C-alpha cells in the first residue's frame, strides 16, 4: 500500500523496506515481519537487528525479532512518526507528520544516549533525510511545504545556518531522498512520477521518469552500490489510475548514473526506555 524506507544492509543481508500502513517490514531476500502498527521507517543496529519508528514510539527489533521499546513520544492523535535515517555519528534521526496537513506542528528528532531531542520544529510532513558525503551537512524535507532544507550538522549540538536547499515548483511534492557518492541529492517526487537530482549547490541537474505516479523513497545498493531501489505507493489511487499505473506499490530496481554511500548503523541508544513530550511550537 505504502512502500517506504528502503535500506541496503549489505551484500549478505540485501535490502529491506516497509509497507508503512500495513505495518510490515519486507525483505528482498524473502519474507516479512508484521509489527501490528504503522511504520514510518527502519534502520539497522550496529549490534544486529533493527530500529523502527512506529506510530508514536521507537522500538528495537532484536535478531530473534523480539520487540523492545526504546522511547515513546507524546504526540497529538493526528500525528505519527515518519521517515528516519542514521546520522554520521550513529544516532537515529527521524521526523513526525501531521496527518491532517493543516498546521506546521510536526518536528525532526534525534535519538542518542541522552534520549530524544528536537532538532527542528515548525514542519508539517517531515520526510527524506540524509547527509553529505563529508558528514557536515544534513538535508531534510518538508513535503507539504515542497521544500528540501540543508543545515550544518556538527558532531554535537543542534543544526546551524539552515537554508532552503531546493524549492520544488513542479507537479507533486518531494518525499524520501538519498545522497549519492558525488554529493548530489536525489529526491522521489510523490505525484510527480519521477526522481530528481540536485547538485550540491541546489541546482536541478537531472530527472528520471518512473512507471509509478507515487514514488516514495530510494536507496543505493548492490555491487558497488550502483543499483537504485525505489519504493512506491498505491494508497489513494483510483481504479482508473491503478489500471494506468499497474506497478504502483511495487519496489522498482534499476541503475542510475550515480553510485551510493554505504548505509550507517545505529550505535547510540539510551540505556532505559523513556517517554518524551513530543509537543512542539504549534505556530511554527
At 105, phi and psi to the nearest 5? -110, 15
**E strand or H helix at 119:** strand 115-123
Q: How far apart are CA 189 and CA 206, in angstroms?
A: 13
Rounded Cα gap, residues 219 and 197, in angstroms: 13
CA distance 166 to 198: 8
User: Which 8-state DSSP code applies to residue 48?
Assistant: S
Does residue 84 contact residue 90 with C-beta atoms inside 8 Å?
A: no
Nearest-angstrom CA–CA distance, 19 and 5: 9
Query: Cα–chain-centroid distance for residue 102?
Result: 21
Query: Given 175, 209, 257, 277, which residue is catalytic?
Result: 175
Report the distance separating Cα 132 and Cα 111, nearest Å.
20
**Residue 105 to residues 74, 98, 160, Cα–Cα distance (Å):** 13, 7, 21
Query: In terms of Cα–Cα distance, which of 115, 141, 144, 98 is closest to 280?
Result: 98
* Active-site residue, 201 included: no
CA 70 to chain centre: 19
Reduced to 3 states (helix: H, G, I; strand: E, B; else coil), residue 223 is: helix
Annotated active-site positions, please?
175
Amino acid at each position: 500500500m505504502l512502500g517506504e524506507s528502503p535500506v541496503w544492509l549489505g551484500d549478505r543481508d540485501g535490502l529491506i523496506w516497509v509497507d508503512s500502513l500495513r505495518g510490515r517490514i519486507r525483505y528482498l531476500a524473502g519474507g516479512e515481519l508484521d509489527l501490528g502498527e504503522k511504520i514510518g521507517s527502519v534502520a539497522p543496529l550496529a549490534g544486529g537487528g533493527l530500529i523502527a519508528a512506529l506510530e508514536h514510539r521507537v522500538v528495537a527489533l532484536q535478531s530473534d525479532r523480539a520487540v523492545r521499546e526504546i522511547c515513546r513520544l507524546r504526540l497529538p492523535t493526528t500525528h505519527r512518526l515518519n521517515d528516519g535515517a542514521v546520522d554520521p555519528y550513529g544516532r537515529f534521526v527521524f521526523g513526525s507528520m501531521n496527518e491532517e496537513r493543516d498546521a506546521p506542528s510536526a518536528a525532526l528528532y534525534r535519538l542518542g544516549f541522552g534520549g530524544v531531542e528536537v532538532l527542528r520544529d515548525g514542519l508539517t510532513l517531515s520526510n527524506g533525510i540524509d547527509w553529505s558525503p563529508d558528514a557536515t551537512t544534513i538535508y531534510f524535507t518538508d513535503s507539504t511545504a515542497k521544500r528540501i532544507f540543508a543545515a550544518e550538522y556538527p558532531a554535537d549540538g543542534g543544526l546551524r545556518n539552515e537554508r532552503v536547499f531546493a524549492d520544488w515548483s513542479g507537479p507533486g511534492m518531494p518525499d524520501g531522498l538519498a545522497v549519492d557518492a558525488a554529493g548530489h541529492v536525489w529526491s522521489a517526487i510523490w505525484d510527480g512520477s519521477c526522481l530528481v537530482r540536485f547538485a550540491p549547490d541546489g541546482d536541478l541537474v537531472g530527472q528520471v521518469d518512473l512507471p509509478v505516479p507515487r514514488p516514495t523513497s530510494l536507496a543505493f545498493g548492490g555491487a558497488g552500490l550502483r543499483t537504485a531501489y525505489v519504493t512506491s505507493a498505491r494508497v489513494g489511487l483510483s481504479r482508473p489510475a491503478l489500471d494506468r499505473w499497474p506497478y504502483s506499490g511495487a519496489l522498482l530496481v534499476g541503475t542510475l548514473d550515480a553510485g551510493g554511500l554505504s548505509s550507517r548503523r545505529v550505535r547510540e541508544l539510551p540505556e532505559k526506555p523513556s517517554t518524551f513530550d513530543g509537543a512542539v511550537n504549534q505556530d511554527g
